[in-house]
């Protein structure tokens, strides 16, 4: 829909690694160049993944709930 409303469009640059949401059939038919950013935020994604793993292993959400409810017991989260 967006591509069809831009008759002079020559190129689409996606500031991410994925571009699966771009209609590649339409861009190919119209000769529109599609580019992405391979490797974009690879390190940040890895760091975030490690953070989520630690959060899960240490049961941080459960600990926070207990703290908020005034029922926190530190021995449970060692």
- Residue 66 shares a structural domain with residue 50: yes
- Residue 46 shares a structural domain with residue 71: yes
The structural domain count of the chain equals: 2
3-state secondary structure of 19: coil
- Residue 25 shares a structural domain with residue 46: no
pLDDT at 22: 94
Confidence of residue 72 (pLDDT cuts 50, 70, 90): confident
* pLDDT tens-digit map of 32-56: 999 998 888 889 999 999 999 999 9
Distance between CA atoms of 62 and 46, rounded to whole angstroms?
24
Distance between CA atoms of 52 and 69, rounded to whole angstroms?
23
pLDDT at 29: 95
- Residue 46 shares a structural domain with residue 73: yes
**Residue 58 domain boundaries:** 42-77
Angle at alpha carbon of residue 7, lines to 5 and 13, rounded to 5°:
85
pLDDT at 41: 86
pTM of this structure: 0.54
pLDDT at 70: 92
pLDDT mean across residues, the chain? 90
């Amino acid at each position: 829909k967006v591509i069809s409303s831009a008759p002079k469009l020559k190129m689409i640059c996606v500031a991410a690694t994925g571009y699966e949401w771009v209609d590649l059939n339409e861009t190919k038919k119209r000769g529109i160049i599609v580019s992405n950013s391979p490797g974009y935020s690879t390190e940040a994604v890895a760091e975030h993944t490690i953070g989520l793993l630690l959060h899960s292993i240490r049961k941080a959400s459960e600990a926070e709930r207990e703290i908020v409810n005034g029922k926190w017991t530190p021995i449970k989260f060692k």
